[in-house]
Amino acid sequence: MRPLVKLSLTAVAGAMLVAITGVEAHKAITSQYTYNDDVFPILRDKCGRCHMEGGPAPMSLLTYNENGGAVAWAESMREMLISEAMPPWYADPTGPAVKNSHALTPRELDIVVTWAVGGTPRGDGTKALAPLPAPAQWTLGEPDLTLQMPAEHTLGPGVIDDSLEVTIPTKLGEAKWVRATDLLPGTPSMVRRALIAVENGATLAVWEPGDEAIPAPGGSAFHIPANAVLRLQIHYKKPWREEQDAKSDRSTIGLYFTDEPLSGKDIQAVTVNGPKDEGDALQPRVFTGTMTAAGRVLALRPSLDQPYGSLEVTAVAASGRRVPLLKLRAPRPEWPRRYWLADPVELPAGTTIEVTATPGDLDSGPLMKPLNFPLQIALDVVPQ
Ligand code: HEC
């Protein structure tokens, strides 16, 4: 009897296997879009700078199903795209245009979602895919000055995230004008975001993985005094596949110099701070600041204390005329950035800067209130 029983068990297991693979194989392919022809180029251009092998995101989306790959993440991708949680890009297309948008176009969104729910077809597997994004490199070419972190920073096994703040002397014998600042991560998979500033001076860059450094427009520049010291803040976070490894990073700042602007004036920050008392995190907040001098607004840097449903910054002239400066949809504190306006805005002295922030889904992720309290909006302005 025994062999018989064994045999029938094997037969049952075999039948189940057939059934399962049968279901998989017969999942209807309804998508006219395929990975190789349609989906891969979108994932490469809009997700690949993070979702690449060795990148900061937990998985590569740049293979079909080798080493994980896009198929295994199709449902998760659909969810993240529909909820606009990925890619981390918050500028609302109905607001003022900002430079270097990472948003998917409606057509790109349709292609990826149709593919994800429509059987995830591969297409012609023999077709060569277009080149992958370049690994971390200087996006504006070799900088005029590079400044490396004084020492490696290590996250031991089991340490998942950590913040570091270091000062780095420039040792520049004379004052300089800076048109752009970039960061070259030493270990790209763990460098999640960075802030580069002159000590007691200008914020030179708000850096996120794979982003191109954007030069200040129209010959404008940041001023750094002779012998300036730079302050580098990095937030490290390991992707889950590396959580048990010890990982070290030693990143490098790159500065790009330029001539003194014709006006002789540097880019300065005008800050508008939210209310000091925490208030009710669930209530919309409206608060204002004033431009004490006339100036041209080049960029805005929101520093969030919590996720918001929406965030709008509007300039209100004495006449009551309203000029929108920034409109964000569901911004999250984990992904801070400097939004460079596609069209800088001239504002007269006395203009009111009005900020309206509606609360977002507070349960959707860790709050980072202690890091950035209160909510602050900084405007990068060239005084007139
Ligand atoms: C700037 C970097 C970056 C870009 C660009 C980006 N992602 Fe992500 N993505 C991440 C990180 C980092 C995570 C891990 C979650 C976290 O720690 O915030 C993630 C998580 C995800 C997840 C969930 C993984 C999980 O563990 O459940 C999906 C799905 C995803 N991304 C899809 C996309 C798609 C699709 C795109 C492009 C349209 C994209 N991402 C663009 C960085 C990025």
The Cα–Cα gap between 334 and 32 comes to 36
- Tell me, yes or no, whether 177 lies in a domain: yes
How many structural domains is the chain composed of? 4
- Tell me, yes or no, whether 190 lies in a domain: yes
- Tell me, yes or no, whether 138 lies in a domain: no
Domain boundary among 133, 161, 194: 133
Do residues 174 and 228 share a domain? yes
Domain boundary among 100, 133, 166: 133
Answer yes or no: is the C-beta of 77 below 6 A from any ligand 1 atom: yes
Would strands 339-347 and 295-303 be described as parallel, antiparallel, or unpaired?
antiparallel
Q: Give the range of the structural domain holding residue 43, as residue numbers without chain letter.
A: 31-133
Do residues 107 and 5 share a domain? no
- Tell me, yes or no, whether 295 lies in a domain: yes
For residue 297, the number of C-alpha atoms closer than 13 Å in the C-beta half-sphere is 28
- Tell me, yes or no, whether 101 lies in a domain: yes
Please report the pLDDT score of residue 4 as a whole number. 37
- Specify the ligand 1 atom closest to the Cα of 335: 1
The Cα–Cα gap between 45 and 51 comes to 10
- Specify the ligand 1 atom closest to the Cα of 56: 12
Do residues 149 and 250 share a domain? yes
Do residues 288 and 376 share a domain? yes
Please report the pLDDT score of residue 1 as a whole number. 35
The residue whose CA has the least distance to atom 2 of ligand 1 is 50
Answer yes or no: is the C-beta of 213 below 6 A from any ligand 1 atom: no
- Tell me, yes or no, whether 105 lies in a domain: yes
Domain boundary among 133, 165, 195: 133
Answer yes or no: is the C-beta of 57 below 6 A from any ligand 1 atom: yes
Cβ atoms 309, 359 nearer than 8 A = yes
- In angstroms, what is the span from residue 190 Cα to ligand 1's centroid? 14
- In angstroms, what is the span from residue 51 Cα to ligand 1's centroid? 7
Please report the pLDDT score of residue 66 as a whole number. 84
- In angstroms, what is the span from residue 47 Cα to ligand 1's centroid? 7
Do residues 154 and 239 share a domain? yes
Do residues 379 and 277 share a domain? yes
Answer yes or no: is the C-beta of 208 below 6 A from any ligand 1 atom: yes
Please report the pLDDT score of residue 362 as a whole number. 65
- Specify the ligand 1 atom closest to the Cα of 48: 5
- Tell me, yes or no, whether 140 lies in a domain: no
Interacting residues of 132 by C-beta distance below 8 A, sequence separation 6+:
44, 48, 52, 62
Q: Strand runs (DSSP E) across the chain, as ranges?
A: 145-148, 153-155, 161-169, 176-184, 191-198, 203-207, 222-224, 229-237, 247-249, 252-258, 268-273, 285-290, 295-303, 308-316, 322-329, 339-347, 352-359, 376-383
Q: What is the pLDDT of residues 248-294, one digit of tens each?
A: 999 999 999 999 999 999 999 999 999 877 667 778 889 999 999 99
Do residues 79 and 40 share a domain? yes
Do residues 291 and 373 share a domain? yes
The residue whose CA has the least distance to atom 28 of ligand 1 is 77
| Cα 118 → chain centroid | 29
Answer yes or no: is the C-beta of 309 below 6 A from any ligand 1 atom: no
Instruction: Extract the residue ranges of the chain whose pLDDT is less than 50.
Output: 1-25, 367-370
- In angstroms, what is the span from residue 343 Cα to ligand 1's centroid? 29
Q: Which CATH number does the domain housing residue 179 bear?
A: 2.60.120.230
Please report the pLDDT score of residue 37 as a whole number. 94
Do residues 319 and 358 share a domain? yes
For a ligand 1 pocket test, name from 44, 86, 111 the mutation site with the most ligand atoms within 8 angstroms of its C-beta: 86
Please report the pLDDT score of residue 275 as a whole number. 84
Answer yes or no: is the C-beta of 48 below 6 A from any ligand 1 atom: no
Do residues 252 and 174 share a domain? yes
Do residues 180 and 216 share a domain? yes
Do residues 174 and 106 share a domain? no
Please report the pLDDT score of residue 13 as a whole number. 40
